[in-house]
Amino acid sequence: MNPYSLPSIISFTVNFSLALIVLVDNPKSALNRWFSALIMIFALWNISEVVILNSSSFSTARVAAQILYRIIFLSPAFFVIVAYHFPKNFHKHLTRPLFYVLTFSLPVILLSMSFPEFQIEVIPLNKANDVFYYQLKYSLSPSFIALLITALIYMIWGDILLIKKIPRLRTVRQKSQTRFFAIGMMIIFFVYIILNLLRAIWGQAISYYFVSTVFTLIIAAFFFTSIIQFKFFNPSRYLTGGITYSILSSIVLAVYFLVIKGINESIVTWFKIDSYVIDGLLIFVLVVLIRPFEHRLHNQLDRLIHSNIHQNRQNFLKLYRELQSYLEPEDFFSRIKKYLTRHFNVEKVLVFNYDPQSLSYVEIEEGDKVPAIPADCPLILTLKAKKQAVEFYDLDHRKILSQFHDFWEKIQTRVILPLIYNDELLAIIVLTRKKYGLDFTQDELEILSIFANEIAGALKRNRIIEDLRLKDRQNYQLEKLATLGRLTAGIAHEIRNPLNTISTASETLLKKDIPEEDQEELKRFIMEETARLNRILNDFLNLSRIRPAQIISFETKEFTERLILSLQSSDRHGIQISYEIAPKAKVMRSDPDLLMQALLNLGLNAMAAIRERCEKDPDFKCHQGHVQFEISADTNHYRIIVRDNGIGISDEIKESVFDPFFTTKETGTGLGLSIVHQIVDTLMGKITLQSRYGATEFTIMLPRKI
């Protein structure tokens, strides 16, 4: 094997591997089968060149050249059939077996008429005449002219098919793919014709060889770019399996093979040593040398294929950390809109948040200026079914978007992003067109789908906290009303008696015939009752405003399972949550609502501590996190222990964690543990804390006999 054949070997390796990738991706698809055949035609083209360049005799090279001649004039027919199928087939009646036969019949007949005088010749590539190459012979032969015209018609035919499809395609991605494929194939055809026409002005065959081999590599690069960068197909599972990795590895292997083959021939020539041991040793050296390069090629190809994912990962992690803490809805969605606008170059982002009062999704900023999306419209059903980023042009506009189609067309909508958590559509993000006229790539759509899933989890957690806060506010309002009622009744009862005494004494003093001694006594009564009224008012002002506990009996297991379910619904990191109930604690007597609120706060704090450790400790993964609830009882008390293996609480702040408004988080309120402490006090219990790195334990002791 001579070095001249190296470019053809590389091109063959790339094309053959890509043909297998496309075929294995979906063997049942007609598009996959014919596109694979088109690439395989060029792989056979490459192998024919390899045979010509390595032929030891002129006759062998001539046979390979005649095979190459057939491949050259059959390839446009393959292109026409692929053009009918790519990316969608709008002419299904024209792709039956008879159509395939008719498409190939014309070039096959013309090739048969040309046999054996094919207009291709084998020429020596060097002065030694031991390496051959090929060139087309242009003549006025009717069969040759007919083949050229047929090839030209077929290429124009295929390109017209592709260009006419573009307006009918819905998605921007399909339009970009079709445009790239049509232009690329036409350029390949005309460049090849021009190269062969210019062959006449080149003085040396070697000049044509170099230009032709570069052209061969460009064809391989075109198909590689089509599949990897433009995502004509979705071969990611096979890429990670190693098929495409082997392309670059094979290229390196071919280079090493030629080097070691040269070394072996030099050893035979200079030292007259021809041994299988030497050959085996050289192969071993080849394997050892190629491994580091192969590993590096794998890493580089992975970064190339997933460049957008690697580029956005750090930015997304930063945003996700910000969303871990509770944010008000306006701030929450504002950060998301800034992220999408900045990192995806989107001109405008609209967020439709679910409004339970109107049973529709309402834009958070524009309000009534933007049409709301009813929760029962077909668009919502479609988004719930797809559960991923959807291109606007991929929707059935006549049925799904009839109510607000004009508005979305006016703002030039491109992508609709549903935020779905456990089959619940929480919100809808609408992305308009990108700046500078760019399109959303397939990688970006996949990234947006992943983004939507993660953000939906954060939004759901926000909603849970909002519901808890709303419940707290409602309970607080009820408590205030109840307290006000009790205060009113108590004040009325306690003040009525002193007022009666004062009123009676005053009426008696107004009489003129009261002895002086009795008058002094009545005045003393008035003073005493006035002081009593003042004490009563002070006592009421100092009353605690906490709602009294409503003690009832309840099943501990059912209560705990409801608690675990609430915590799991806010977890997106696979944190383990378990519980253990002692036999004596199967039934509890306490206030289940207040106790649920306290334990839910402790559970959320434990999960936040685990996530913080996961971020700061590279050896600790979130799925290793564990939150455990242990409920037991003795004669006088219930004991509830909440354990976690999170970041822990330092000794310096242990004494302050229950203080109102004390927090170590930038966006925390500092009320969670304070509320827990007040609730435990209301339940006539006590709460203690023990903590170190990787082990935190809150213990609540509640009286058993109430």
Q: What is the DSSP string of 20-79?
A: HHHHHH-TT-HHHHHHHHHHHHHHHHHHHHHHHHH-SSHHHHHHHHHHHHHHHHHHHHHH
Cis peptide before 356 (omega within 30 of 0): no
User: Which of 477, 507, 541 is the last residue before a domain boundary?
Assistant: 541
pLDDT at 587 exceeding the cut of 90: yes
Strands, E assignment, 295-368 = 349-355, 360-363
Mean of pLDDT over the chain: 80
508 and 380 in a common domain: no
Please tell me whether residue 366 adopts helix, strand or coil conformation: coil
Confidence of residue 105 (pLDDT cuts 50, 70, 90): very high
Q: Which residue from 538, 525, 421 is spatially nearest to 491, judged by alpha carbons?
A: 538
Tokens of 336: 């998301």
Strand partners, 354: 361
Tokens of 334: 């504002």
Place of tokens 């609540």: 700
Domain that holds residue 511: 468-541
Does residue 630 sit within a domain? Answer: yes
Residue type for 558, please? Answer: E
User: Which of 236, 263, 285 is the last residue before a domain boundary?
Assistant: 236
User: Which of 541, 575, 595 is the last residue before a domain boundary?
Assistant: 541
Confidence of residue 370 (pLDDT cuts 50, 70, 90): confident
DSSP label at residue 166: G
250 and 181 in a common domain: no
Tokens of 281: 């040793």
650 and 510 in a common domain: no
Cis peptide before 703 (omega within 30 of 0): no
613 and 531 in a common domain: no
pLDDT (0 to 100) of residue 151: 93
* CATH number of the domain bearing residue 478: 1.10.287.130
627 and 536 in a common domain: no
**CA–CA separation, 701 vs 706, rounded Å?**
13
pLDDT (0 to 100) of residue 661: 45
Residues 6+ apart with CB under 8 A from 199: 135, 136, 208
23 and 79 in a common domain: yes
pLDDT at 240 exceeding the cut of 50: no
Q: Which residue from 4, 18, 5 is spatially nearest to 219, judged by alpha carbons?
A: 18
Please tell me whether residue 608 adopts helix, strand or coil conformation: helix
DSSP label at residue 81: H
Does residue 12 sit within a domain? Answer: yes
For residues 194-205, average pLDDT:
69
CB count in 10 Å sphere of residue 334 = 15
625 and 526 in a common domain: no
20 and 128 in a common domain: yes
Tokens of 605: 């704090």
Helices (H), 542-591: 556-568
Compute φ and ψ for 349, nearest 5 degrees: -125, 125
Tokens of 192: 């090849």
pLDDT (0 to 100) of residue 695: 92
**CA–CA separation, 471 vs 705, rounded Å?**
28
* CATH number of the domain bearing residue 453: 3.30.450.40
Tokens of 429: 């993000």
Who has greater pLDDT, 83 or 205? 83
Does residue 344 sit within a domain? Answer: yes
Confidence of residue 190 (pLDDT cuts 50, 70, 90): confident
Q: Which residue from 671, 654, 651 is spatially nearest to 663, judged by alpha carbons?
A: 671
**For residue 626, what is the enclosing H or E element?**
strand 626-633
Contact 460, 426 (CB under 8 A): yes
Confidence of residue 536 (pLDDT cuts 50, 70, 90): low
Does residue 547 sit within a domain? Answer: no
**CA–CA separation, 327 vs 337, rounded Å?**
14
Question: What is the chain's percent helix, strand, coil content, to nearest 5?
Answer: 65, 15, 25
Does residue 474 sit within a domain? Answer: yes
pLDDT at 626 exceeding the cut of 90: yes
Q: Which residue from 260, 194, 250 is spatially nearest to 46, judged by alpha carbons?
A: 250
Total domain count, the chain? 5
Strand partners, 78: none
Confidence of residue 545 (pLDDT cuts 50, 70, 90): very low
Q: Which residue from 414, 20, 68 is spatially nearest to 235, judged by alpha carbons?
A: 20
Confidence of residue 493 (pLDDT cuts 50, 70, 90): low
Q: Which of 101-105, 145-149, 594-598 has the lowest mean pLDDT?
A: 594-598
Cis peptide before 97 (omega within 30 of 0): no
pLDDT at 308 exceeding the cut of 70: no
pLDDT (0 to 100) of residue 299: 63
Does residue 49 sit within a domain? Answer: yes
* CATH number of the domain bearing residue 140: 1.20.1070.10
507 and 450 in a common domain: no
Tens of pLDDT, residue by residue over 350-366, are: 999 998 888 899 998 87
Contact 425, 419 (CB under 8 A): yes
253 and 208 in a common domain: no
pLDDT at 502 exceeding the cut of 90: no
Please tell me whether residue 528 adopts helix, strand or coil conformation: helix
Who has greater pLDDT, 113 or 227? 113
Strands, E assignment, 366-477 = 373-374, 390-391, 413-421, 424-432
Compute φ and ψ for 120, nearest 5 degrees: -145, 140
Q: Which of 414-423, 551-560, 646-655 has the lowest mean pLDDT?
A: 646-655
Angle between helices 172-198 and 142-165 (to 10 degrees): 160
Contact 132, 61 (CB under 8 A): yes
pLDDT (0 to 100) of residue 241: 45
Integer CA distances (angstroms), 556 to 162, 173, 559, 578, 686, in order: 67, 55, 5, 14, 19
Q: Which of 112-121, 359-368, 515-524, 669-678 has the lowest mean pLDDT?
A: 669-678
Please tell me whether residue 144 adopts helix, strand or coil conformation: helix
493-496, Cβ contacts within 8 angstroms, sequence gap of 24 or more:
494/536, 495/533, 495/536
Query: Do β-strands 576-581 and 626-633 pair in parallel, antiparallel, or remain unpaired?
Result: parallel
- Give the DSSP letter string of 213-275: HHHHHHHHHHHHHHHHTS-SS--HHHHHHTTTHHHHHHHHHHHHHHHHHHHHHHHHHHH----
Compute φ and ψ for 695, nearest 5 degrees: -155, 105
* CATH number of the domain bearing residue 685: 3.30.565.10
Burial of 104 (0-12, 13-18, 19+ CB in 10 A): middle
Residues 6+ apart with CB under 8 A from 39: 15, 18, 19, 22, 223
Who has greater pLDDT, 698 or 319? 698
pLDDT at 538 exceeding the cut of 60: no
What is the distance, to the nearest Å, from the Cα of residue 514 to the centroid of all Cα atoms in its chain? Answer: 94
Q: Which residue from 59, 39, 53 is spatially nearest to 8, judged by alpha carbons?
A: 53
pLDDT at 497 exceeding the cut of 70: no
**CA–CA separation, 116 vs 380, rounded Å?**
65
Contact 189, 202 (CB under 8 A): no
Contact 182, 86 (CB under 8 A): no
**For residue 388, what is the enclosing H or E element?**
none
**CA–CA separation, 389 vs 346, rounded Å?**
15
Tokens of 373: 């999306």
Does residue 546 sit within a domain? Answer: no
257 and 279 in a common domain: yes
Tokens of 286: 């080849």
Place of tokens 């890429």: 239
What is the percentage of the chain residues whose pLDDT exceeds 90? 24
Q: Which residue from 189, 306, 319, 234 is spatially nearest to 29, judged by alpha carbons?
A: 234
Confidence of residue 430 (pLDDT cuts 50, 70, 90): very high
297-303, Cβ contacts within 8 angstroms, sequence gap of 24 or more:
297/245, 297/248, 297/249, 297/252, 298/245, 301/239, 301/244, 301/245, 301/248
Q: Which of 26-35, 221-230, 636-645 has the lowest mean pLDDT?
A: 221-230
Who has greater pLDDT, 594 or 706? 594
pLDDT at 523 exceeding the cut of 90: no
Tokens of 221: 């690069």
pLDDT at 301 exceeding the cut of 60: no
pTM of the complete model beyond 0.75: no
268 and 139 in a common domain: no
Does residue 502 sit within a domain? Answer: yes
For residues 416-440, average pLDDT:
86
